[in-house]
Amino acid sequence: MKVFYNPVQKTHILTHEIIAGKRYRHHEKKARLENILKHLRAAKRFDVCIPDALPIEAVLAVHDEGYIRFLESSQMLSKEEVIWPYTFPNDRRLSIREPVTVFTAGYYCFDVGTPIMSDTYIAAMASASGAYAAARHVLETGEACYALARPPGHHAASALFGGYCYINNAAIAAKYLSQKGRVLIIDFDFHHGNGTQSIFYNSNEVFYYSIHGDPSIEYPYFSGFAEEKGIGEGLGFNLNIPIEPMVGAAEYLGEFKEGLNQILKRFDPKYIVCSCGFDVAEGDPLGHFALTPEHFYELGTTIKSLGKPVTLIQEGGYLVDRLGVNVHAFLSAFL
Ligand SMILES: [Zn+2]
């Protein structure tokens, strides 16, 4: 299987984060990539390639130009500077001024765990390049393809970063594929992909399906509820299945399959884009489900059995030592 990854993605180094007032070593670290790569290389069944740079039009198809220009401007920071947004506009009806410097980054941000540094933009663009290259490969060959994306993307909206995400990798892949036919995004990350949902909320070309920890008690808290079904033309093209944390893996997989069956009765996708969040793994520090490699293999088999070309995009997963084993088990289903 082709895997797209660029070493530039490792240059984005996050030191710490504050969650509910407590300081932690940042969970989104480059060791995540290294562990996955180690396992995929050892398996010798994966062809790891550096993706070409992606056309800016593919990024602007899902993100606001002002937002991308803002992210790009972070390259002006010194190596030591880190921008932590801490003030946010709370009434978007006001004529809030767009930020002129990264110091008013809260304009484009929704949480406090996602800092910006001088390498953030190039790392995020490299990550998105992998997603775009994977989608292109799927389009050209019909074979499943995996983008080892990092930073992740599914929390990034068209003009908002947060949740460790800056550019929405899965949305770029889905938007590109949607030029050729309807796309189903399957997001199994432990956290609701609020960014992806918002980007396609009024679309009937891209169906967003997410199964995740119940947002009434889990990040990102303000979206991911079952009643969010889309708006306008997109009404009926968004399905959220919030699950109580600590649910057993068998029950989780049952809910996952039930959700898919519901969708496929009324939506026939030509392509599938999968936001693969391995923070649903047993023992993950940021998730509370309990999937093991066997369950990831079953999850992969279920998606493969739909018989559609699949673009697989890495999202979360923070149990670094087990990440590669879990990713390998999942990808094995597509070989
Ligand atoms: Zn997550």
Q: Domain holding 97: CATH number?
A: 3.40.800.20
Cα(248)–Cα(127) distance, rounded to whole angstroms?
A: 32
Map residue 244 onto helix, strand or coil: coil
Ligand 1 geometric centre to CA of 96 (Å)? 30
- Domain residue limits at 53: 2-332
Decide if pLDDT at 246 tops 90: no
Residue written as tokens 């708006």?
A: 231
Q: Which of 154, 155, 192, 295 is catalytic?
A: 155
More confident residue, 217 or 104: 217
Give the pLDDT band of residue 142 (cuts 50, 70, 90).
very high
Strand pairing class (16-19; 183-187): unpaired
Catalytic annotation present for 155: yes
Extract the tokens encoding 182.
């309807």
Strand pairing class (206-213; 16-19): unpaired
Q: Is the dihedral of CA 315, 21, 81, 60 positive or negative?
A: positive
Question: How much is the pLDDT for 90?
Answer: 78
Ligand 1 geometric centre to CA of 292 (Å)? 16
Ligand 1 geometric centre to CA of 275 (Å)? 10
φ, ψ for residue 85, nearest 5 deg: -60, 140
Give the pLDDT band of residue 315 (cuts 50, 70, 90).
very high
Compute CA distances 168 → 131, 235, 257, 325, whole Å.
9, 22, 25, 25
Ligand 1 geometric centre to CA of 95 (Å)? 33
- 45: Cα within 13 Å, side-chain hemisphere: 11
Ligand 1 geometric centre to CA of 315 (Å)? 7
Extract the tokens encoding 37.
């790569």
Closest CA to 151 of 284, 286, 313: 313
**pTM higher than the cut 0.95:** yes
281 burial (CB, 10 Å; 0-12 / 13-18 / 19+) is buried
Ligand 1 geometric centre to CA of 100 (Å)? 31
- Domain total in the chain: 1
- 252: Cα within 13 Å, side-chain hemisphere: 27
Question: How much is the pLDDT for 95?
Answer: 66
**Most confident range, picked from 19-23, 168-172, 246-250:** 168-172
